[in-house]
Amino acid sequence: MNEHCDIAGIFKGNLCYMILRALQKKPLHGYAIIKRIELITGDIWKPTTGSVYPLLAQMHSDGLVSVKETEQKGRKRKFYAITKKGIVELEKRKKIVAEMVKTAGEMFQHLFPKATGNPDELFELLEESRFLQKELIALKANMLRFLVLSKQGKISETGKMKIKKKLIEFNKLAEKITEKKQ
């Protein structure tokens, strides 16, 4: 099997594992696989087309994925789907990743006190944390605008109520994610 798909590769950000994870729910074309990996990892990892497409070809040769060519809007696209052999490989890798997550969880217990060693749980937490981070950045920008406009006397009572409502919504979201971590 290709060196990128061997078990030791998992310590280097195993792209083979992430591609299989991305294809778990439905077939995707190459660019959608890249976007799914970015989503799964909370934009921490952005694989390049130069690494994904050659590996997809190798994974197809190894029988881990199947390929179906379709035409969309006059453009040929290759859709990749996980095969039975790919599912077996993914489950094997999930166990390895679960062990790594468990070890990382022991080292970072204060961040994820309820971590079970389940990689799906870790990626879900990363995704939610990334979403929360984006919301926090947007909230900070809006608060700065609010302060400036408020000092200039340009915020109506209705505007103040809308901002208060958004802060309450954000607080509830943050509490929900924090509860999952504890």
Report helix, strand or coil for 75.
Answer: strand
Beta-bridge partner residues of 72 = 75
Indicate whether 103 belongs to any domain. yes
- Whether 59 has a pLDDT exceeding 90, the answer reads yes
Shared domain for 125 and 86, answered yes or no, is no
Domains of the chain: total: 2
Shared domain for 37 and 93, answered yes or no, is yes
Q: What is the pLDDT of residues 73-96, one digit of tens each?
A: 888 999 999 999 999 999 988 887
| The pLDDT value given to residue 114 | 57
Shared domain for 29 and 78, answered yes or no, is yes
Q: Which residues contact 67 (CB under 8 A, 6 or more apart)?
A: 56, 60, 78, 79, 80, 81
What is the rounded CA–CA span in Å between residue 133 and residue 148?
23
Shared domain for 85 and 150, answered yes or no, is no
Domain holding 172, by residue range, is: 119-181
Whole-model pTM: value is 0.56
Tell me which residue of 58, 60, 54 sits closest to 79, measured CA to CA. Answer: 60
Indicate whether 23 belongs to any domain. yes
Shared domain for 49 and 133, answered yes or no, is no
Shared domain for 74 and 32, answered yes or no, is yes
What is the rounded CA–CA span in Å between residue 171 and residue 164?
11
Tell me which residue of 63, 61, 51, 60 sits closest to 78, measured CA to CA. Answer: 60
| The pLDDT value given to residue 172 | 76
Last residue of a domain, one of 51, 79, 107: 107
| The pLDDT value given to residue 168 | 77
